[in-house]
Structures are given as structure tokens and as C-alpha cells.
């Protein structure tokens, strides 16, 4: 089929260029510098980073500390970054080997708390990092620059005060001596852990002067890596005889859909609640007491899922409980697949006709056992990718199979008009990568979310803009979009729309055009939950992670997606979506 489209002036041609010249200059600066085969000093990028006046780093050009930006960067980089002599970036391990580096697979693997990216350390000051798409570069470089700027500002302030003199300072003492809020210092203390005092002294003792090097890279390289990522999923479908079955593709997270369909957490309700009682968790224990007293507002299932995550995390490595859980999930048709490529996106293959109708979350409604047992559909669920990796993934899947029946995207976003925890459903997506604007007949509305949303609000008919990076935006840039009624700021919907276009049309996705998605050969829906606002510098994301209350919007959205699939497959009665309410009673 042909998708209606109209060439229109891009957002930049319409006047946006005046508000984002500094952003474009910064982007061009680091992309051109990194074409060099040698090393680049990160400090060369600091002037253009400061001039950009990023909404995520508003104090970059000030002598005042910007702890929000520093915390954000700290959470997205390995702890070993300050010790690096050079950080080398590349698409594949063999690219490093071809340049005489590695083999990096034999180096020490490193982790960043809040970003799924593969890092390696050679033990002698060289760090290697694998990039899954061009969006990884747009995310990593500004993060490194912000980290170095704030590290060195903190160093100057400490040395001017000859501080700290003795012992390990507390967050209140840091706030009083160095500036910044006590809350931000507490978050930084949590991020650095027991080494907080030692890390502060480390900052005071040395000026950070990072170097980076880029080992080539190409669009074909990213496509090749994505094909290797998809291969185990394709093989799993073939091994289980599912390759000719209709597929529903979902980009969400690794826990919510599996929890809704397997009953693993609910079967361990007694063990989980006993663990909460014994742990005296400051968040979970009071909430459990409120459930027992009939005073809790939220969903008992959501509480149980969140507590189950903490319960499993508290088990010792190698515990039999992990294999038991995997065996239970495999028995009801759920196969987990981790990734060994640069694309650190795990996947689950869920065969609907193997599910136990008695085990699925009661909020989904009553599934017809006969229809479920004869339902041919398969859900392929992945952890949401970053930026352009979304296009590569969906493009690879649709090249490999013509059995795709639905595409559903659940992701986090910043909101310009709502509050953290709200759910936003957009009917317009503007993609900054392609410059095209997509007008959707979104598969979801507030009616699909509202029955399960307790703590937040549902907002449909919104407009979303897909940005290149969390750092690559400033106040005037956001104000421009807000004046144009774009209220959702995120990173994946646009690339997914580009890939969906290529499912429906013979052409490659358009550039700088308005595209009507009112008629598509697949079912298509996009939901975002508000994880932050651009003006809070992502402090919510930089804190502990998704809270029990934050799960309300995640599970309300996941319930809507699963109910959509089951309804389209004739397993559920669609009318039930307006009558079901969330449970709030412990079993």
C-alpha cells in the first residue's frame, strides 16, 4: 500500500534554526572531530558544550556547581572513567582488533548504573565502549563532556577551600561548604556508595583531562550488528516452530509483560511478603502494612511485582530460585534471551497458546481457555532501545518476517505539560533524525489506560518530538516545540515510525515530510510515561530508579498493550476494558 505524505518545510526551515544553532554547532563539532583516526581531547568540546546552554546542563558555563548534570552523567558512566587515559569507541569487537586493540572480550567488563552499554577496561588506563547506533555517540560524548566540566569545577572549589580536611564529609556538610542542595549531594553519595569520601578527595587531587578516539563506523556496520542481535531470537522462533506464526512486536521493558502473563510473582506471594516483613525495607514495609490495614490506594499486583524484583535481587548468586523461575516461565511459553552484541537489548519470546489462563494477571480479564489454547500469536518483547537503534531493530525484524501483525511502543519521556508518573498517548510524532512528522491513528487512548492508572493521569491526543540526545536541547529549543503544542520529549518513537513507514510503502522513510499513518497494514500504538521534566535535569532518573509508585504508569500501559493483543486475537471481550478496575487488596 502507499502511505499518504506531503513534502513540507522542516521544523528548522520553519524557524527552528534560530533557537538551535548552538545545538547544531555542538553536534557538528564533535562528529567532525571524531572523524580523525587519532585521539581527541574532551576539553576541546567544552566551549561548544557550554555555549549550547543545554537544559540538562544549564550551569555548564557558570562557576557554580551543576550537581544535577554531574549526577546524571555519573549514573551513565562506569566508575572507572576518571582513571582512563583514553576512551576508545567502536561498533564491533573485531574493529578494535583490526586497530591493534584488544581482544577487548578478554578485558574486564564494566557497568554503568543507568545506561545499557558495553564497556571494557584493559587494566592500564584504556577503556573500550561498543556503540549500538549513532544515537549512542550523541548520548555518550555530551555525557563525558558534562562529567569532565563538573568534575573540574568541583576540584577548583575544593582546592580553594582546602576541603575536606579530615574524615569523610556528609551531604549536609558538602552542601554548606561547596554549594548545591543537600538532596543532590545525598544522591551523589548514594551513587558513589561507600567510596564517597575517597572519591571527593580524588576529585580534589587531580584535574580530569579525558581523551576519546572513534574507530570508524558505518550504517552497514550497525545493520550487521543488529542482524547478529536478532539471530538468537530468530533461531528460538524456529526451534519452537513459531516462525510462521503471527507476531506482535513490543518495545517496553524486561519485566512487566512477563509478570502480567506468567504469575511467577503471585505464586510466591507468601515468600515475598515474608521477605518484606523481615527486610524492614523503608519503602515496601510501610506500604505492605497499609495494604493489610486496607489503607493502600495502589494495586496489590503492582506492589507484589515491585517487591518480587527486590526479593529476587536479594537472593545470593547461583541460588536455585533463578533456575526455578526460568523453568516456570519456560513451561508457560516464555523464553528469555540476553544479548551479547553491542546492542544490549534483551528479548522475550512469548507463545500465547502455552500460557496458563489461570495464572495471568486478573486485571487482564477472563481469557477464554479454548481460544487461548488455540491462539497462534507470538509476542516478541524487547527492552526499549536507545534512539536510532529502534529503527535498526524493527527494520531487521520486518526484513526477516512478513508475519508482523502489530507494533507497540512503551517508553519513558520527559513532559512539558504533565507530571512525573502521568501517561501520554500521542497522535503526532516529529522525528528530528529524519525531519518528518507522522500523524497517527494511535491504537491506544485514555480509555485503555484509565482503569488501571491510580497515581497518575492519562493524557491522549498529545504531540511528541523525538530528539537526538537528552543533552542536545536547550530552553529556547524546548520553548519552540511547546509553542507548537509538542509536549512529549523522547528518543525512540520517531525511528520506530520510520521503520513502520517502510512496512507500508515501497520507498525508504521520507525526510522532511508530513506522513499520514491513518491506514497501515499493521496495528500500531505508542505510549509514554513521564519519567521527568527537562527542567529538573532528570533528577528522577538519576535517583534510585523506578519506584513502586512509578510502576503504576508502567503497568497501566503494559496492561493496555497485552489486552490489545489478546482482544485482537479474540481471547478477550473488548468491552471488558471499560469495566475492569485495579485490585487493592492483598491476598
Q: Residue 164: its pLDDT value, please? A: 85
**Which segment of 36-45, 339-348, 371-380, 470-479 scores lowest on mean pLDDT?**
470-479
Spell out the residues 6+ positions from residue 85 whose beta carbon is closer than 8 angstroms to its own.
Answer: 124, 125, 126, 211
Predicted pLDDT at 192: 94
Weakest-pLDDT range from 2-16, 121-135, 148-162:
2-16
CA distance 527 to 453: 13
CA distances from 414 to 182, 470, 533, 537, 582 (A): 24, 9, 5, 10, 26
- Asked if residue 69 has pLDDT above 70, the reply is yes
Confidence of residue 577 (pLDDT cuts 50, 70, 90): very low
Is the separation of the CB atoms in 301 and 359 below 8 Å? no
176 pLDDT more than 60: yes
Show me where the domains of the chain are located.
34-214, 219-578
Is 312 a residue whose pLDDT tops 50?
Answer: yes
Task: State how far the Cα of 537 lies from the Cα of 188, in Å rounded to an integer.
Answer: 14
What is the pLDDT, as a whole number, of residue 112?
Answer: 95
Residue entry with cell 551543576: 66
- β-pairing verdict for 423-431 and 523-532: antiparallel
Extract the C-alpha cell encoding 410: 512503551
Residue with cell 581523551: 211
Alpha carbon separation from 312 to 130, 265, 291 (Å, rounded): 29, 10, 21
pLDDT at 583: 43
The x, y and z cell numbers of residue 12, run together, are: 528548522
Please report which helix (H) or strand (E) contains residue 17, including its range.
helix 17-33
Question: 68: which 3 cell numbers?
Answer: 544535577
Angle at the Cα of 121 (from 117 to 123), degrees rounded to 5?
165
CA–CA separation, 355 vs 339, rounded Å? Answer: 25
Sequence-ordered list of residues with C-beta below 8 angstroms from that of 146, at least 6 positions apart, any chain: 49, 54, 56, 57, 60, 69, 70, 72, 73, 471
What's the CA gap between 218 and 201, in Å, rounded? Answer: 41
Per-residue pLDDT at 264 exceeds 70:
yes
Residues 225/132, Cβ–Cβ less than 8 Å: yes
Distance CA 111, CA 127 (A): 12
The DSSP bridge partners found for residue 406 are 248, 523
Eight-state DSSP code of residue 205:
H
Tell me what the mean pLDDT of segment 515-525 comes to: 94
**Residue 195 pLDDT exceeds 70:** yes
Q: How far apart are the first and last CA of the chain?
A: 51
Identify the DSSP state of 54. Answer: B
Question: What pLDDT does residue 575 have?
Answer: 54
Backbone phi, psi, residue 164, to 5°: -85, 150
Burial class (CB in 10 A: 0-12, 13-18, 19+), 38: exposed
> Residue 282 — pLDDT band, cuts 50, 70, 90?
confident
Predicted local confidence at residue 281, as pLDDT: 82
State the sign of the Cα–Cα–Cα–Cα dihedral 443, 446, 452, 454. Answer: positive
Beta bridge partners of 458: 423
If pLDDT is split at 50, 70 and 90, which confidence band does 405 have? very high
d(Cα 343, Cα 340) in Å, to the nearest integer? 8
What is the structure's pLDDT at 528? 97
Read off the pLDDT of each residue in 516-524 and give the average, rounded to a whole number: 94
Residue written as grid cell 517502510: 502
**C-beta atoms surrounding 204 within 10 Å:** 17
Mean predicted confidence (pLDDT) in 193-214 = 95
Per-residue pLDDT band at 586 (split at 50, 70, 90): low
Using DSSP, how many helices (H) and how many strands (E) does the chain show? 22, 18
- Count CB neighbours of 235 within 10 A: 12
Spell out the residues 6+ positions from residue 468 whose beta carbon is closer than 8 angstroms to its own. 27, 135, 138, 387, 432, 433, 491
Q: How far is CA 48 from CA 23, 25, 258, 325, 538, in A?
A: 8, 7, 44, 50, 22
Which class is domain 219-578?
alpha beta
Q: What is the pLDDT of residues 344-365, one digit of tens each?
A: 999 999 999 999 999 999 999 9
| pLDDT of 17 | 42
DSSP H/E element including 561: helix 551-568
User: How far is residue 76's CA from residue 482's CA, in Å, rounded to a whole number?
Assistant: 28
Q: State the Cα–Cα distance between residues 173 and 161, nearest whole angstrom.
A: 13
576's grid cell: 471488558
Share of the chain above pLDDT 90, in %: 81
Supply the pLDDT for residue 288. 94
482-486 average pLDDT score: 93
3-class secondary-structure state, position 511 = coil
The pLDDT value recorded for residue 267 is 93
What sections of 353-435 are H helices per DSSP?
369-373, 389-400
Position 82 scores a pLDDT of 96
Cβ neighbours around 103 below 10 Å, total: 11
Beta-carbon contacts of 470 under 8 Å, excluding residues fewer than 6 positions away, are 56, 72, 139, 491, 538
Element (H, E) at 127: strand 126-130
Dihedral-angle region of residue 179 (phi above 0 means left; psi in -120 to 50 means alpha; beta otherwise) = left
Point out which residues pair with 248 in neighbouring strands.
Answer: 379, 406
Angle between helix 269-279 and helix 300-313 axes, rounded to 10 deg: 70
Give the model's confidence band at 581: pLDDT under 50 very low, under 70 low, under 90 confident, else very high. very low
Whole-angstrom distance, CA of residue 525 vs CA of residue 443? 5
CA gap 471, 81 in Å, rounded: 19
Indicate if the alpha-carbon torsion angle 350, 401, 5, 23 is positive or negative: positive
What is the average pLDDT across 559-584? 74
For the cut 70, the answer to whether the pLDDT of residue 370 exceeds it is yes
Alpha carbon distance 154, 57 (integer Å): 15
pLDDT grade for 16, boundaries at 50, 70 and 90: very low
Q: Mean pLDDT over all residues of the chain?
A: 91
- Give 538's pLDDT tier (boundaries 50, 70, 90): low
Closest CA to 524 of 485, 561, 487: 561
Cβ(380)–Cβ(232) below 8 Å: no
> Which residue in this structure is represented by grid cell 526551515?
13
Amino acid at each position: 500500500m502507499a502511505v499518504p505524505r506531503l513534502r513540507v518545510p522542516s521544523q528548522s526551515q520553519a524557524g527552528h534554526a534560530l533557537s538551535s544553532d548552538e545545538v547544531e554547532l555542538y553536534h557538528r563539532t564533535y562528529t567532525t572531530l571524531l572523524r580523525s583516526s587519532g585521539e581527541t581531547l574532551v576539553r576541546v568540546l567544552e566551549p561548544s558544550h557550554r555555549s549550547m546552554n543545554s537544559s540538562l546542563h544549564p550551569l555548564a558555563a557558570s562557576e557554580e556547581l551543576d550537581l544535577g548534570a554531574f549526577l546524571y552523567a555519573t549514573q551513565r558512566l562506569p566508575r572507572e572513567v576518571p582513571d582512563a587515559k583514553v576512551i576508545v569507541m567502536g561498533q564491533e569487537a573485531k574493529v578494535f582488533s583490526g586497530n591493534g586493540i584488544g581482544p577487548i572480550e578478554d578485558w574486564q567488563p564494566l557497568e554503568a548504573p543507568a545506561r545499557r552499554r558495553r564497556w571494557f577496561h584493559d587494566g592500564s588506563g584504556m577503556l573500550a565502549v561498543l556503540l549500538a547506533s549513532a544515537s549512542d555517540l550523541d548520548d555518550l560524548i555530551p555525557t563525558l563532556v558534562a562529567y569532565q566540566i563538573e568534575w573540574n569545577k568541583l576540584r577548583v572549589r575544593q582546592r580553594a577551600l582546602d576541603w575536606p580536611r579530615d574524615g569523610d564529609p556528609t551531604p549536609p556538610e558538602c552542601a554548606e561548604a561547596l554549594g548545591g542542595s543537600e538532596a543532590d549531594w545525598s544522591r551523589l553519595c548514594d551513587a558513589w556508595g561507600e567510596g564517597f569520601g575517597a572519591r571527593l578527595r580524588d576529585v580534589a587531587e587531580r584535574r580530569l583531562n579525558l581523551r576519546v578516539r572513534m574507530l570508524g563506523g558505518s550504517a552497514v556496520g550497525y545493520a550487521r550488528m543488529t542482524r547478529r542481535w536478532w539471530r538468537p531470537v530468530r533461531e528460538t522462533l524456529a526451534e519452537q516452530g513459531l516462525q510462521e506464526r503471527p507476531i506482535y512486536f513490543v518495545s517496553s521493558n524486561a519485566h512487566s509483560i512477563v509478570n502480567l502473563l506468567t504469575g511467577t510473582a503471585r505464586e510466591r506471594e507468601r515468600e515475598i511478603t515474608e521477605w518484606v516483613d523481615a527486610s524492614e525495607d523503608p519503602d515496601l514495609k510501610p506500604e505492605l502494612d497499609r495494604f493489610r490495614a486496607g489503607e493502600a490506594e495502589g494495586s496489590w499486583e503492582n506492589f507484589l511485582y515491585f517487591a518480587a524484583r527486590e526479593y529476587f535481587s536479594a537472593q545470593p548468586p547461583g541460588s536455585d530460585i533463578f533456575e526455578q523461575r526460568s523453568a516456570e516461565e519456560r513451561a508457560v511459553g516464555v523464553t528469555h534471551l540476553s544479548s551479547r552484541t553491542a546492542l544490549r537489548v534483551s528479548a522475550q519470546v512469548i507463545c500465547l497458546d502455552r500460557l496458563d489462563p489461570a495464572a495471568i494477571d486478573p486485571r487482564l480479564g477472563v481469557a477464554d481457555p479454548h481460544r487461548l489454547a488455540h491462539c497462534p500469536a507470538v509476542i516478541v518483547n524487547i527492552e526499549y532501545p536507545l534512539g536510532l537503534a529502534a529503527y535498526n531493530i524493527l527494520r531487521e525484524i520486518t526484513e526477516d518476517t512478513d508475519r508482523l501483525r502489530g507494533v507497540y511502543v512503551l517508553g519513558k519521556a520527559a513532559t512539558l505539560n504533565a507530571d512525573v508518573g502521568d501517561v501520554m498517548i500521542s497522535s503526532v510524532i516529529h522525528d528530528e533524525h529524519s525531519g518528518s512528522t507522522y500523524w497517527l491513528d494511535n491504537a491506544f487512548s485514555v480509555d485503555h489506560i484509565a482503569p488501571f492508572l491510580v497515581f497518575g493521569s492519562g493524557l491522549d491526543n498529545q504531540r511528541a518530538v523525538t530528539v537526538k540526545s537528552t543533552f542536545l536541547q536547550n530552553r529556547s529549543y524546548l520553548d519552540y516545540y511547546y509553542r507548537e503544542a509538542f509536549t512529549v520529549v523522547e528518543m525512540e518513537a520517531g525511528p520506530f515510525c520510520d521503520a513502520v513507514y517502510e512496512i507500508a510503502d515501497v520507498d525508504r522513510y521520507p525526510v522532511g515530510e508530513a506522513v499520514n499513518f491513518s491506514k497501515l497494514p499493521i496495528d500500531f500504538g505508542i505510549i509514554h510515561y513521564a519519567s521527568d521534566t527537562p527542567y529538573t535535569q532528570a533528577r528522577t532518573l538519576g535517583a534510585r530508579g523506578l519506584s513502586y509508585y512509578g510502576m503504576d504508569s508502567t503497568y497501566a500501559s503494559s496492561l493496555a498493550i497485552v489486552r490489545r493483543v489478546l482482544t485482537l486475537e479474540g481471547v478477550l471481550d473488548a468491552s471488558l476494558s471499560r469495566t475492569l478496575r485495579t485490585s487493592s487488596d492483598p491476598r
